[in-house]
A and B are shown apart, each in its own frame.
Chain A
Amino acid sequence: MTEFFQTLVSGLSLGSIYALIALGYTMVYGIAKMLNFAHGDIIMVGAYAVITTVMISEAIPGIVAVVISVIVCVVLGVTIEFFAYRPLRKAPSLTVLITAIGVSYLLQNLALLIFGSEQKSFKLDFFDMIKPIYIGKVYINGITFLTLVVTVIIMIALTLFINKTRLGKAMRAVSEDKEAAELMGINVNRTITLTFAIGSALAAVASIFYGGAYTYIRPTTGSMPGIKAFTAAVFGGIGSIPGAMLGGILLGVIEKFAENAISQWSNAIVFVVLVIVLVVKPTGLLGKKINEKV
């Protein structure tokens, strides 16, 4: 039983990371109707931003490095949207997809050029400050605990933002109908920028937890969590915010249990589950199909 809960905790923690990244995919998809395949690489950039900051001076507190990483990712995400995606707003989706893959390679290669191919250790001072806790015999280390708490807070805040605030409602309006939103006086371009900014900030936060859990990063670090989180977003229903949260968490839990059972097959099991869900419910767990009345 202890082992079950131990696996559950590490699954929830991994799933939280996937969920944070999946939110970026799903929000951008919901609003700009595009798959931003460079989103995973934002995580990598966020992680390098952290270790670069800490490398400059040991005296810089970890939390400052986190803030810098968030700023770097937001600026990067918004810049990518402005230069790479905005000119393609009316282009066929395949063109946009190929551009996104191009941006992803560009980021990876830039990182390779600047930081080299060898892995770098990822550590922040506050990881050790939080004491591990025991619930019964279940052990929860500092970074896992932090991941869970911060993710829950972010999810609640994001849900309130989307549902209750004026800007959040504007985002929902844009995701439903850009022209109608424009007619309401909503600046659609600015709303899309905001979405990229939020998604990138969440990716930066995810990079801290991912780096904390795996302790090493390299230029391709963003690929695997990126693909998993994308899977999670599709799993939960792409475009749906609660779907991304649920999909991410379930995916993390399934992956950890699968790893426990037959370790080398865990990724395969994850994707088999995805395929089954999509066959049974093509819109994903919480995805909606809208019936339009004419």
Chain B
Amino acid sequence: MRMLAVNNINVYYGKIHAIKDVSFEVKSGEIVALIGANGAGKSTILKTISGLLRSKTGSISFNNELITHTEAHKLIAKGMAHVPEGRRIFLQMTVMENLDMGAYIRKDNYKKDIESVFQRFPRLQERKNQIAGTLSGGEQQMLAMGRALMGKPSLLMLDEPSMGLAPILVDQIFGIIKELHESGTTILLVEQNAEKALAIADRAYVLESGKVAVSGTGKELAASDKIKKAYLGG
């Protein structure tokens, strides 16, 4: 089943034409990767999906519902979560308060979900009363992901979760993405680390200056000479 369908979007920053006629889809249960060089437009696409930016053309639908013009704050209730580039956790709030903000729209008792976030990220539990701004980069990424999980998303969009992390932590984060996927979350993953992203992705789209240049399964793309040259350093 199609969970997310992005249909012919064009996004501008003033006169800069950042996204040009991009279309792609994410099926329920997939991990889809968006890869591409700096400035290719990956983050712009995620922000457009989550309603922070608007496309001049086309449409976006989520679970067969048109969300092209839906206000950003209404999407989390529909099951969409976006972990933005640079984590964007609330630095002056505690770890716990950040998780509370992730559950902002929830009216039910979400204590159990906090427990399960802590189980997934034990480091957060040890630091639950610490001010988020004092966490290490890796812990901040964990908090950003944990905060997004508090909304119980069916689609989790991650923008460069491995950015600036040491190799061990990168492996750990990718491990967690796999686990989340196995537990039923559909994932749209934006990554600079093309090798790792292609390794776990069912399908991937390669962006070049605002356009989809190539698409295919993770395996196909990882094996393609062209992709190897451009993104995999070989």
Write out the residue numbers on chain A whose beta carbons fall within 8 Å of the beta carbon of B90. Answer: 172-173, 176-177, 180
A199 to B164 CA separation, bound complex (whole angstroms) = 41
With a 10 A CB-CB cut-off, give which of B71, B88, B93, B136 has the most chain A CB atoms: B88
The answer to whether the Cβ of B230 comes within 8 Å of any Cβ in the partner chain is no
Write out the residue numbers on chain B whose beta carbons fall within 8 Å of the beta carbon of A176. Answer: 90-93
The answer to whether the Cβ of A179 comes within 8 Å of any Cβ in the partner chain is yes
A1 to B97 CA separation, bound complex (whole angstroms) = 47
* Of A166, A172, A292, the contact of B93 (CB 8 Å cutoff): A172
* Of A166, A185, A187, A292, the contact of B151 (CB 8 Å cutoff): A185
The answer to whether the Cβ of B195 comes within 8 Å of any Cβ in the partner chain is no
Whether A186 touches B73, Cβ cut-off 8 Å, given contacts A169-B100, A293-B137, is yes
Whether A183 touches B133, Cβ cut-off 8 Å, given contacts A176-B92, A288-B92, is no
Write out the residue numbers on chain A whose beta carbons fall within 8 Å of the beta carbon of B77. Answer: 185
A180 to B73 CA separation, bound complex (whole angstroms) = 10
A185 touches B93 (CB 8 A): no
Of all chain B residues, which has the CB nearest A188?
A: B73
Instruction: Name the distance in Å between A102's Cβ and chain B's nearest Cβ.
Output: 26
Write out the residue numbers on chain A whose beta carbons fall within 8 Å of the beta carbon of B86. Answer: 294
Size of interface on A: residues with Cβ below 8 Å to B? 23
A176 to B131 CA separation, bound complex (whole angstroms) = 13
Instruction: Name the distance in Å between A239's Cβ and chain B's nearest Cβ.
Output: 11
Whether A183 touches B92, Cβ cut-off 8 Å, given contacts A169-B97, A170-B104, is no
Of all chain A residues, which has the CB nearest B102?
A: A184
* Of B82, B91, B97, B136, the contact of A183 (CB 8 Å cutoff): B82
Interface size class of B (residues with CB under 8 A): 20 to 34
Whether A173 touches B93, Cβ cut-off 8 Å, given contacts A180-B88, A184-B101, A186-B104, is yes
Of all chain A residues, which has the CB nearest B150?
A: A184
Instruction: Name the distance in Å between B15's Cβ and chain A's nearest Cβ.
Output: 16
Say what secondary structure dominates the interface of chain B. loop
A185 touches B74 (CB 8 A): yes
Instruction: Name the distance in Å between A232's Cβ and chain B's nearest Cβ.
Output: 22
A173 to B104 CA separation, bound complex (whole angstroms) = 11
User: How would residues 173 to 203 of chain B score, 1 for a CB under 8 Å from any chain A CB and 0 otherwise?
Assistant: 0000000000000000000000000000000
A181 to B147 CA separation, bound complex (whole angstroms) = 12
Write out the residue numbers on chain A whose beta carbons fall within 8 Å of the beta carbon of B164. Answer: 294
The answer to whether the Cβ of B214 comes within 8 Å of any Cβ in the partner chain is no
With a 10 A CB-CB cut-off, give which of B77, B90, B151 has the most chain A CB atoms: B90
* Of B76, B100, B137, B140, the contact of A185 (CB 8 Å cutoff): B76
The answer to whether the Cβ of B232 comes within 8 Å of any Cβ in the partner chain is no
Instruction: Name the distance in Å between B110's Cβ and chain A's nearest Cβ.
Output: 12
Of all chain B residues, which has the CB nearest A163?
A: B97
Beta-carbon contacts under 8 Å, B121-165 to A: 133, 135-137, 140, 147, 151, 164
Q: Which 3 A-B pairs have the closest CB atoms?
A: A185-B105, A180-B88, A185-B76
Q: List 11 A-B contacts (CB under 8 A).
A: A173-B104, A177-B88, A182-B51, A182-B52, A182-B73, A183-B52, A187-B73, A188-B73, A290-B92, A293-B135, A293-B140
Residues of B within 8 A of A (CB): 50-52, 71-77, 81-82, 84, 86, 88-93, 97, 100-102, 104-105, 133, 135-137, 140, 147, 151, 164
Residues of A within 8 A of B (CB): 166, 169-170, 172-173, 176-177, 179-188, 288, 290-294
